[in-house]
A = this chain, B = another copy of it.
Amino acid sequence: MTPTPPSAPPRPVPLVLIGFGRVGQAFSRLLFEKAETCRRRYHLDPFLHAVLNSRGGFATGRPLRPNDLFAGDAPFVEGNHAWQPGLSLDAVLASAPSPGVVVECAPSDLRTGAPGLAYLRAALDAGWHAAAASKGALVVDFRGLRARAAARGLSLKLGGATAAALPTIDVGTTALAGAEVLAIEGILNGTTNFILSGMAAGRPYAEVLDEARRRGIAEPNPSQDVEGWDTAAKILLLANAVVGLDASLADVSVRGITAVEARDVAGARERGFAVRLVGRCARPAPGAPWALSVAPEALPADHPLASVSGTAKGVTFHTDTMGAITVTGGGSSPRATGAALLKDIVNIYSARR
């Protein structure tokens, strides 16, 4: 059942994690949990060389262990021998035994890309691969970052930034290699899909949003989700990474769900339609310029995304030679995003077979 491991030791892969919020913490826990799987199945030994946040970093000069980061369930700084206030990215990259992967999970700004953009540029310039779960830097300068990576033969991975464990980028690139993507449509935000699913029963927007907040599905300030900007950022990344566009957020026509009326959603359901917030990348006519949009749409029951309900997500790629391929599901917890980052790291190093 398990292939015999080659006799050489697993390849060490130093990781520098930037951002130690919910996703960063979940990623580091997952990495400790999956160490043996990585060694056995992929012959890789990814380890945390350092973890940075805006105030400093955790680093000990050897691979970080759980008790260098966590006391019980929570990260701790006070009295932690591994905590170094003001520790910089340059310093930890320089002290690593070899370049590896910078894993970017810092809170990010969709307009400026800060602070991730500077981190990712520095990482690539220092010869490190990059895997991002934050969208800001990628939204602002995907093309520049991709070129910087390509010039050095490095990978820039964004699976964790484009709908967590839903494998949007992997399907759009690896699984569709050689095919022409004619259009992409996606339900890319779990919070808005949860709200629209609840409104299909006739419940008002504000009431379902409150429930989503209480259940921890919606952020305390959900404006980025309900106004459509989270979906816009994700369809933009798919357009640039899969179709090869060079679009920016200003090119996306964005309408969220704040003006959607419960009676319209419920009425659509009675007529057999599902109202969904759809991110779309398509050409209005063959040869016409690509158009990017986010808007609530009433999908017919036989649309492959119509059955994606609750907090689920999904994306459909329309192609020239492979038909339409839809991928749905995938966890959207911090742990699932951490799993998407680990996947990207494994895929940087493991040979295709």
* Residues in chain B near residue A244, CB distance under 8 A: 1-3
Known A-B contacts A165-B321, A321-B335, A322-B165; the reply to A177 vs B330 at CB < 8 A is no
* Residues in chain B near residue A156, CB distance under 8 A: 353
Q: A205 within 8 Å of B by Cβ?
A: no
Q: Are B307 and A322 in contact, with the CB atoms below 8 A?
A: no
**Nearest CB of chain B from residue A173's CB, rounded to whole Å:** 8
Complex Cα–Cα for A153 and B304 (A)? 39
A352 interface neighbour in B165, B338, B347, Cβ under 8 Å = B347
Q: Are B323 and A165 in contact, with the CB atoms below 8 A?
A: yes
Interface centre among A170, A246, A302, A335 (most CB of B within 10 A): A170
Q: A316 within 8 Å of B by Cβ?
A: yes
A304 interface neighbour in B150, B167, B175, B329, Cβ under 8 Å = B329
**Binary interface encoding of chain A residues 145-157 relative to chain B, with 1 for a CB under 8 A from any of its CBs, else 0:** 0100110010110
Q: Are B330 and A323 in contact, with the CB atoms below 8 A?
A: yes
Complex Cα–Cα for A34 and B342 (A)? 33
**Binary interface encoding of chain A residues 299-338 relative to chain B, with 1 for a CB under 8 A from any of its CBs, else 0:** 0001010110100000010010111111111111001101
Q: Are A179 and B339 in contact, with the CB atoms below 8 A?
A: yes
**Nearest CB of chain B from residue A40's CB, rounded to whole Å:** 11
* Residues in chain B near residue A324, CB distance under 8 A: 329-330
Q: Are A348 and B339 in contact, with the CB atoms below 8 A?
A: no
Q: Are B322 and A179 in contact, with the CB atoms below 8 A?
A: no
Known A-B contacts A156-B353, A329-B324; the reply to A167 vs B178 at CB < 8 A is no
Q: A343 within 8 Å of B by Cβ?
A: yes
Complex Cα–Cα for A42 and B179 (A)? 12
A170 interface neighbour in B175, B304, B353, Cβ under 8 Å = B175
Interface size on A, residues (CB 8 A): 63
* Residues in chain B near residue A307, CB distance under 8 A: 302, 304, 306-307
Q: Are A343 and B175 in contact, with the CB atoms below 8 A?
A: yes
Complex Cα–Cα for A180 and B40 (A)? 13
Interface residues in A221-251 by Cβ distance below 8 A to B read: 244-246
A178 interface neighbour in B38, B304, B325, B352, Cβ under 8 Å = B38
Q: Are A325 and B327 in contact, with the CB atoms below 8 A?
A: yes
Of all chain B residues, the one with the shortest Cβ separation from A164 is: B322
Q: Are B177 and A174 in contact, with the CB atoms below 8 A?
A: no
Q: Apart from A302-B307, A321-B335, what 19 extra A-B contacts exist at CB < 8 Å? A: A3-B150, A3-B244, A34-B321, A146-B353, A165-B322, A175-B175, A177-B346, A178-B346, A302-B309, A304-B307, A304-B328, A321-B331, A322-B330, A322-B331, A322-B339, A324-B329, A327-B328, A328-B328, A348-B352
Q: Are A171 and B327 in contact, with the CB atoms below 8 A?
A: yes
* Residues in chain B near residue A30, CB distance under 8 A: 321
